[in-house]
Structure 1
Amino acid sequence: MLFLTRRRKVQREGIDYEQIDKEWDWDHFLILQAFVGATVFFLFPSLLHGLPLWDLRGLMVAMVVHVGVSEPLFYWAHRLFHKGYLFEHYHSLHHSSKVLQCFTAGFATPLEHLGMCGVMAAPILGATLMGFGSLGLVYGYILFFDFMRCMGHCNVEVFSSRLFESLPFLRYIVYTPSYHSLHHMEQDSNFCLFMPLFDALWGTLNNKSWQLQKDVSSGKNDQVPDFVFLAHVVDVSFSAHSPFLFRSYSSMPYTFKLILLPLWPCIFIVMLVMWAWSKTFLVSFYKIRGLLHQTWVVPRYGFQYFLPFAKDGINDQIELAILRADKMGIKVLSLAALNKNEALNGGGTLFVNKHPNLKVRVVHGNTLTAAVILNEIPANVKEVFMTGATSKLGRAIALYLCRKKIRVMMLTLSTERFLKIQREAAPEHQEYLVQVTKYQAAQNCKTWIVGKWLTPREQRWAPPGTHFHQFVVPPILSFRRDCTYGRLAAMRLPKDVQGLSVCEYTLDRGVVHACHAGGVVHSLEGWTHHEVGAIDVDRIDVVWRAALKNGLKPV
């Protein structure tokens, strides 16, 4: 959640696909623990026989054994794994993760996890052998142990420095995410399991520990992004594509998985809660040439944008994100998909007019979207058929093509809207814009530009060999086997992008929607104008050349 974590990140870098792929099987230690536990209790069934649900004496014994045995045992084993052969062949794998996350806590070799099982088992076995064991202790201690490991690796400082200033002895009782991060940044210090006391006793306490914790928890380690892409959730199942739910799943292009079916009711309830009380959350952050780019998500689902009573609430959320970005000092904020819907806010015009003194530049990115679609059209095409022809994108594409003396059949029932667009064209080009009211008019045209959803029945009017270019969300169904279907307008980010770990909807790794790429170009070029409302046709080629110059490539 952005409002909780934005200023408390320990390491500011984003993880990348390489780290996710390397840590893909981070959860194997759970299988190992289950196997070890099952083996122990199979060999010694009396350990579990007759155990009560809870015994407070067992908790006391486990605490003593943890402090007296588990903590020092882990400390010295950990230091041993930082020596020569053991580090090179085993522990270096754990330290190869560039950015800590909860997942990295379980990323280690089987030998290390076997040792960890021994450290975990000592308090449970100690209490059980003394006759004070309980089922609550078995499950509770293991959950506590894994929680503490994940907390130390979460990369978000969860403790306030005021707590340690008021109660200084707590610094030696519980470690913090910033404390453990120093171990990964400067490997020869802060070896403790959960208690810095043992680092202090044996002289391996990093002298930066308390100051770093204070700086991070107070927000001094904050870094303001240069560019923000403000996205939204498409549908209920797609919300499971968020990296904080399934990191590996979100790093691959979105496809519906059967595993999501049991989760669907839970996700639906979360959707209702977020609809009632919602905050913008962070999906990813990456860098291009030193500029920090982030993707924020407004917790609104695609269908909600078409509910008349939801319009004001959605605009309030978008406006809040824009004002927050302005206050933070962000330079460019780009609106995704339905966040810039013409009927919703006039392609962002509503916010610019309402707040004329905005320092953040609001961008809809549709200029580059139009450029991508136009550059996909073969040079030998003389005629196109277009649905959604009077929309913001449809208008710009039609005006651009008529300048190239390409005949554009614009499907629209509104003669008034058609004539308004036609009058924008130069007199010598107006004849190339033609109004049509039925799909039958395109039965001999093999180039369709789709800006309004097509049913399978409507697609039947396209002749065999037709290619469907698209700027409609969601994309149309690939119904015709004798035709080809383009994907939504997108561009591949430059090769020097760092920290990108999320796939944007159904797009491949490193590929973003053209409106996202449009905001990236706006940021990299340092342009100071708002890009809202109607598309400036004269800037289509300017933006396209700027995108190519900055290393973005068409897909």
Structure 2
Amino acid sequence: MAFPKHKDSIATDDLSRPKKEQEESLSQREREKKREERERSEMASQPGPLTNWPWHRLGNFKYVLLAPWVAHSMHQFVTRKREERDLFNFLTLPFLLLRLLYSQLWISYSRYQTARSKRRIVTKSLDFEQVDRERNWDDQIILTALLMYVVNLVLPAAQKLPWWNTKGIILIALLHIGPVEFLYYWFHRALHHHFLYSRYHSHHHASIVTEPITSVIHPFAEEFVYFLLFAIPIIPSILCGDGSIVGVAGYLIYVDFMNYMGHCNFEMVPNWLFRIFPPLKYLMYTPSFHSIHHTKFQANYSLFMPFYDYIYSTCDKTTDSLYERSLKGREEEKTEVVHLTHLTGIQSIFHLRLGFASVASRPFISGLYLWIVSPLSYLLVLLTWIFGTTFTLERNKFNDRSMETWVVPRYSFQYISRLEKGRINRLIEKAILDAEKMGAKVLSLGLFNQGEELNRYGDIYISKNPSMKIKIVDGTGLAAALVLNSIPDGTKRVLLIGKLNKLAYYLSLVLCQRKIQVVEIMHKDLYEFLKLQMPQKMKDFVLLSDSYMSKVWLVGEDLRYSDQMKAAKGVHFIPFSQFPPTTVRKDCIYNSTPAMVVPKAFENLHCCENWLPRRVISAWRAAGIIHALEGWETHECGENVTSIDKVWDAALKHGFAPFSLASEI
């Protein structure tokens, strides 16, 4: 093996180990935990000078700073003769865009792997605070572009660089291996002195569970020093007349690659590389190598090449064993709950956890920045339709139970198509059987994955697989409970409008049982159905009318704005659909779609579920979790509905709280 295990190694992650070894290391793990808490408590306790980036107040308008340089570069390229054009200057903008795309691909790939891979290194929870802190990961790319423009302007040798220069590329490699790695090692150790750590470096170490972009999250002053270090190979090669476009761009891509790989929180470096070339162990670090630095703080300081940690005895003793265990993979806890959702609008793919991290951490709103990538959106629609298969989006934990969210790669508009009905049903059925095979106890159907026309609210899958043990939940009981508890006290009459579904029928029955009149607008079929289902003494509580005078409206999908305009001022709109109204009136009250605030113990929730706020999940997703927590051995699909009081009491017992637009998250 390339990484032999040390006899006295101490595991720093959550991978499975022999019980005796766990007991022996318990006291040391407790000491490490206390040190970790102490280190984190020092975070930015005394922010130093130049902590904030110069353009931090500009928000996304920071890209405007590049406009004069880009305009000047393009003007020169267009107006000069071909032999006088400066390609290095002109290609700075395309290179910036390439690095932005490259970084985003790393984010998506890393999140995809950590949601499904057994090679995760640290299993602690990722939270919204970290996502917000790492939102400005593109600052360093903007700074690089600005410095490239400045260097090109002030250094004549940096103008009209050739595409390739072998001597210059060798010089860059040697200067990185020598001065850069050495100076970084000692600068990094200095940053862990209390004075500098509390003022600067603690901002980076606030992230215990690292993502690729964690690597570039630093205060401005610290990041600027790194830029000076990385300039050591580039500037001398240019001044010596050996600079080249490939040399400069290639070195920066190398820095990006090693930075992102080292912070991706899953082991991806294959063991055979070290078997073929054993010295590579000292020339290239691994994600598990650097993860120790983020969990223990006082070890593994090297930049990309660990040989200085070995020389100065700062390489942690568990480095090799952690690499081996991470590469082998952990024994995952059995997933008990799977929530099956799907894509909604054309741009919703960018709101997934695998898409834009900062966008996914907020309720989905179709903004200008998403319209800019619309051509890519339509291309992804085609690709998901041709090649798409259900994939794992998110992995959560609550009360020692593991749960996952899976995505059917189909958009809302495709669920309306009769041609897609068969394909979608096959994807859903395969997901159910896959969940059954992996040992899941409950699968909840979200959004359009349930419906009368599509699958009889999930009942079709039970009919086709009668021996199936997994329980299918459509969430009708909990959704109904949330809608009923949203109706203001003292209400005697409600208006039911919008597309009818199983939940609408059930709500109408319960409301009539509670002696609240249900007014149907042009729903003669529902009116006649309820008349047949109800005892004689309750039939007077369901009315068929064309009056819109009710103060409380229960609204389903396909609610038209023209219907809303018929409501009186101050009407209370309460959706019973999974999708909110597309347009709203400012003089009326609108409730959220049925949803619940998750307990604080609900882990690893760092993206928003569609249009819902942070730490709020849909009633249909919550219903599956509660079903599993209670160990109910019945399906809730087809004609079956869980008792409202039963599921409501269970939800509150486990710490879930009803969400309204006035809720404090």
State whether TM-score is above 0.5: yes
Report if the CA contact (8 A) 1:19-1:98 is conserved: no
- Whole-Å separation in 2 of the counterparts to 1:395 and 1:515: 17
2:145 alignment partner AA = A
SS where residue 553 of structure 2 aligns?
strand
Give the counterpart of 1:21 among 122, 128, 132: 132
Give the counterpart of 1:483 among 580, 583, 588: 588
Alignment of 1:72-87 (within 5 A): 72-87=182-197
- Whole-Å separation in 2 of the counterparts to 1:521 and 1:544: 10
Shift of 1:428: 3.3
Gaps of 5+ in 2: 1-108, 660-665
| Greater alpha carbon shift after TM alignment, 306-315 vs 16-25 | 16-25
1:256 alignment partner AA = S
1:446 is aligned to 551
- Whole-Å separation in 1 of the counterparts to 2:324 and 2:602: 31
- Whole-Å separation in 2 of the counterparts to 1:203 and 1:489: 57
1:298 alignment partner AA = V
SS where residue 468 of structure 1 aligns?
strand
- Check if 1:256 corresponds to 2:360: no
1:390 to 1:28, Cα distance in 2 relative to 1, 3 A: closer
1:423 is aligned to 532
1:14 alignment partner AA = S
1:24 alignment partner AA = R
Shift of 1:554: 1.5
Shift of 1:420: 4.4
Report if the CA contact (8 A) 2:113-2:266 is conserved: no
- Whole-Å separation in 1 of the counterparts to 2:225 and 2:587: 60
- Whole-Å separation in 2 of the counterparts to 1:389 and 1:120: 61
- Whole-Å separation in 2 of the counterparts to 1:54 and 1:525: 66
Alignment of 1:71-470 (within 5 A): 71-220=181-330, 222-387=332-497, 391-411=501-521, 415=525, 418-434=527-543, 436=544, 441-470=546-575
Report if the CA contact (8 A) 1:367-1:535 is conserved: no
Identity across matched positions, percent: 36
SS where residue 228 of structure 1 aligns?
strand
Residues 66-120 of structure 1: CA deviation (Å, up to 9, x unaligned): 2122222222222222223222322222111131011211111223212211221
1:52 is aligned to 162
SS where residue 342 of structure 2 aligns?
strand
Report if the CA contact (8 A) 1:285-1:292 is conserved: yes
Report if the CA contact (8 A) 2:342-2:407 is conserved: yes
Give the counterpart of 1:541 among 605, 630, 645: 645
SS where residue 410 of structure 2 aligns?
strand
| Greater alpha carbon shift after TM alignment, 361-370 vs 392-401 | 361-370
- Per the normalisation by structure 2, the TM-score is 0.77
Shift of 1:310: 0.9
Gaps of 5+ in 1: none
Report if the CA contact (8 A) 1:12-1:223 is conserved: no
Report if the CA contact (8 A) 1:385-1:445 is conserved: yes
Shift of 1:145: 0.6
Shift of 1:261: 1.7
SS where residue 303 of structure 1 aligns?
helix
1:224 to 1:148, Cα distance in 2 relative to 1, 3 A: farther
SS where residue 259 of structure 1 aligns?
helix
- Whole-Å separation in 2 of the counterparts to 1:276 and 1:389: 31
Length, aligned pairs only: 548
| Greater alpha carbon shift after TM alignment, 471-480 vs 231-240 | 471-480
- Whole-Å separation in 2 of the counterparts to 1:323 and 1:164: 40
Runs of 4+ in 1 over 6 A off after TM superposition: none
SS where residue 546 of structure 2 aligns?
helix
Shift of 1:221: 5.2
| Greater alpha carbon shift after TM alignment, 523-532 vs 92-101 | 523-532
| Greater alpha carbon shift after TM alignment, 50-59 vs 271-280 | 50-59
1:482 to 1:284, Cα distance in 2 relative to 1, 3 A: same
- Whole-Å separation in 1 of the counterparts to 2:304 and 2:413: 46
Report if the CA contact (8 A) 1:362-1:531 is conserved: yes
SS where residue 261 of structure 1 aligns?
helix
- Whole-Å separation in 2 of the counterparts to 1:354 and 1:57: 68
2:532 alignment partner AA = R
- Whole-Å separation in 2 of the counterparts to 1:281 and 1:236: 18
- Whole-Å separation in 2 of the counterparts to 1:414 and 1:485: 26
1:167 to 1:220, Cα distance in 2 relative to 1, 3 A: farther
Shift of 1:514: 1.3
- Per the normalisation by structure 1, the TM-score is 0.92
- Check if 1:519 corresponds to 2:624: yes
Report if the CA contact (8 A) 1:282-1:295 is conserved: yes
Shift of 1:13: 2.8
Residues 311-335 of structure 1: CA deviation (Å, up to 9, x unaligned): 1211222223222222222332211
